[in-house]
Amino acid sequence: MLATRGLTNAPDEAWLRPPGTYRFPDGESRPGLRHELASVLALFAVLEEYAPGHPALLGSWNEALSHLGYKVPEGREIPAGCAPAIEILECTAARFDLIAYLVASHHGKVRAALHAAPKDQDYSDRDGRGMPIHGVREGDHLPSIGEANGLFWQGCDLTLEPASMGLSSRTGASWQDRVAGLLAKYGPSALGYLEAVLRAADVRASRLETSDPALAGVDGA
């Protein structure tokens, strides 16, 4: 069973699938959607929006990009109170890569390479935005989260640029490039250990029945 399904795949009957699972607001279905990939791409979107010249995005590649005929654009001003974005912008390039990797890998499904899963290949592209990767498509919009305890998230558009090979004029080094750097720096064992720590923390947090204080007052929270 494990050999044919893979270690990270639970049996079909293991999870409840309430109506609307993998269903998007516009009605289309994206089986195999991985929310953690959307979260990682949101990190990239924050840098692209507010600080394209950040060392974790294009700042380290100024000279290379100028040889390629690209110019690093200016970022927008961060809205007051958007603390999550400020925290991301305060990361160093190395720290950003590690955070992005751990966010991506905390379910064990999205790790060293961003590539389409078999269920993505069944998707039919009708609007020319291209095929999904783990259920996320180019240009997907991550909705905003209203103000709660002085924090808010204003939403962003996601791009799959990091999944492409080579240097991107929007998101800099590719995902594989970043992961190769992390593997060279930490080694597979240390990286695996950090993944496990975050995974354990995620499981513990999910067992709590208290509502997230950061989301208190938000509709549905």
Q: Does 28 bind another protein (CB under 8 A)?
A: no
Phi, psi of 181 (to 5 degrees): -65, -40
CB of 5 to another protein, least distance (A): 7
- Cα 137 vs. chain centroid, distance in angstroms? 12
Q: Does 72 bind another protein (CB under 8 A)?
A: no
Contact assessment for residue 152 and residue 81, using Cβ atoms and an 8 Å cutoff: yes
Amino acid at 23: R
What residues pair up with 98 in beta bridges, in sequence order? none
Q: Does 166 bind another protein (CB under 8 A)?
A: yes
Q: Interacting stretch for another protein, rule CB under 8 A, among 86-94, 114-122, 136-144, 193-201?
A: 114-122
Query: What is the distance in angstroms between the CA of the first residue and the CA of the last residue of the chain?
Result: 38
Helix (H) / strand (E) element for 146: namely strand 145-148
Q: Interacting stretch for another protein, rule CB under 8 A, among 31-39, 62-70, 187-195, 201-209?
A: 62-70
Q: Does 150 bind another protein (CB under 8 A)?
A: no
Amino acid at 76: R
From 14, 121, 126, 207, residue interacting with another protein (rule: CB under 8 A): 121
Q: Does 7 bind another protein (CB under 8 A)?
A: yes
Structure tokens at 192: 């695996």
Q: Does 215 bind another protein (CB under 8 A)?
A: no
Contact residues for another protein, defined by CB under 8 A: 3-9, 19, 63-64, 67-68, 118, 121-122, 166-167
